[in-house]
Structure 1
């Protein structure tokens, strides 16, 4: 079919529309990064980074530390054995179900003695608010309720939640007794679940300072419970790595999956 110059040309119009649609689709599905405000840690900084996938859904949530963050960290003192750095989630981007992240520096480690008693970081990803976390306590009349055992469906197979693993302003800690650190190997890293009043309130990669200083690149599977207490995006794996070009360590919850 012939057309006059300047008039509608069906073939050209269809091709142009298709090109425009594909271009818009590419832009819509381009993975993106969303960063929380950096917080001073040691001589460097730490921040939260949320990455999306090609479907614009959360794919990973990471704590990123500059290499200087491992220098100038405080030593243990008689009046203080741990330091807490609250890291905000990004102001924009997809909602993950995680409210905030707390990076805890333990220069002398913590119990159990001989297991986690080495310098290390606890990286708590909380699904409760900062106010709710601040109210977590195992003292007073509500102690029995606070220490209530979680529903077995909230605890991954093989994990245990010992009563002496209750920590103020954190929660009860679900541990993996199959970890090498419980069988004579030096502690390097593990994955912990946290509970309060029987509900799952945080997930926690824990990493020794020595392991980070080895400039690692490791991805480990996460043993998942049958269900979670709150809807959100929960990890199937966690990664600990070092990017030499950027001079940054990454501790990431990866392969996030939506649970309602």
Structure 2
């Protein structure tokens, strides 16, 4: 049976770039020297067709964005890479409280470290940037997502309009904008600078027959009126992945399909699968793949 997902407060992070990323060859103000073609581990991402975007040092490693596109222009992979050592010495609540690490308190009193990373220039539209967050105590709903985890938003809109998303409630969302098997959660609450959340109807973390500690990962779709035209748009896809999943449950390469809406906010290439990869000494990667061209 499902827990009451229509009324719980989510407390998602309003990611507004509060932490500065190191220059890469991203598309925004952090653009810099290209690191094209450098695979990180196990032959992935593929050398020769991969460009690297922005990065941020965290733990004893760094988190970076990348995009792999064939010479003919076909998108192969767009992802977020966790270097070996990233999960060592990650900041926790006591580090934020003592001032040894920079972060912010979010709804429910949870600490978080949010940061935005631009993707490289070769990234297929409409993917714009990665809005990320390290949540050492998780976030609300309590008993559901209150485990140490990363939120990784693959945004379809630029940071400026996303930053203008105001709080509110989506009372009625057209079926064509709800991916197959998904539903609005949190009563349709719109998180400022982010949007409302759509989650799988069969998400095990909302099944009260399961222990809350069993939650490992979930793929969220976001929705908001980003362009202020009075209509809601699907504005991001968001893997939420626990540290426990990366370290103790991931077995090589785990791939799953991304359920799709019937309509899309922009023309471009949209991912139809997402993959989490253990790259051995090369770290980990969370990757959008299976790109298909869609019209608005």
- Pairwise same-fold verdict (TM > 0.5): yes
Instruction: Quote the residue 2:89 is aligned against.
Output: 72
Correspondence for 2:223: 195
Q: Which of 155, 177, 180 is the aligned partner of 1:154?
A: 177
Could you tell me which runs of 5 or more consecutive residues in structure 1 were left unpaired when the two chains were aligned: 1-29
Matched-pair contact (CA < 8 Å) for 1:31–1:52? no
When the two chains are superposed, the root-mean-square deviation of aligned CA atoms in Å is: 2.1
Structure-2 residue corresponding to 1:22: none
Q: Using CA pairs below 8 Å that are at least 6 residues apart, which structure has the higher relative contact order?
A: 2
| Structure with greater Cα Rg | 1
SS of corresponding position for 1:68: coil
The answer to whether 1:207 aligns with 2:231 is no
SS of equivalent residue, structure 1 residue 175: strand
The match for 1:42 is 59
**What CA distance in whole angstroms lies between the structure 2 residues aligned with 1:207 and 1:108?**
13
Say if 1:223 and 1:236, in contact at 8 Å, map to a contact too.
yes
Question: Which residue of 228, 246, 249 maps to 2:284?
Answer: 249
**For residues 130 and 49 of structure 2, what CA distance do their matches in structure 1 show?**
20
Displacement of 1:54? 6.2
Structure 1 position 83 matched with structure 2 position 110: no
Q: Which range moved further: 33-42 or 74-83?
A: 74-83
Residue 258 of structure 1 corresponds to 293
d(CA) in 1 for partners of 2:123, 2:236: 19
Q: Deviations over 1:69-115 (max 9, x none)?
A: 2122221367622111211111x325331111011111111222222
Q: How does 1:23-172 map to 2 (within 5 A)?
A: 32-53=49-70, 55-76=72-93, 80=105, 81-90=111-120, 92-138=121-167, 143=168, 147=170, 149-162=172-185, 163=187, 165-172=189-196
Asked if 1:176 corresponds to 2:176, the answer is no
- Distance in 1, matches of 2:138 and 2:223, equals 21
CA distance in 1: counterparts of 2:247 and 2:193, whole angstroms? 29
1:99 & 1:148 partners in 2: Cα distance? 28
Q: CA deviation at 1:52?
A: 1.6
Conservation of the 8 A alpha-carbon contact between 2:171 and 2:188: no
Structure 2: distance between partners of 1:155 and 1:226 = 8
The count of residues paired between Structure 1 and Structure 2 equals 223
Q: 250-259 or 31-40: which moved more?
A: 31-40
> Per residue, is there more helix in 1 or in 2?
1
Q: Give the match's secondary structure for 1:116.
A: coil
* Deviation readout 1:32-90 (Å, 9 max, x if unpaired): 11110222222211111111246421121110011222122221367622111211111
Question: Partner residue of 1:231?
Answer: 267
How far apart in 1 are the matches of 2:87 and 2:161? 29
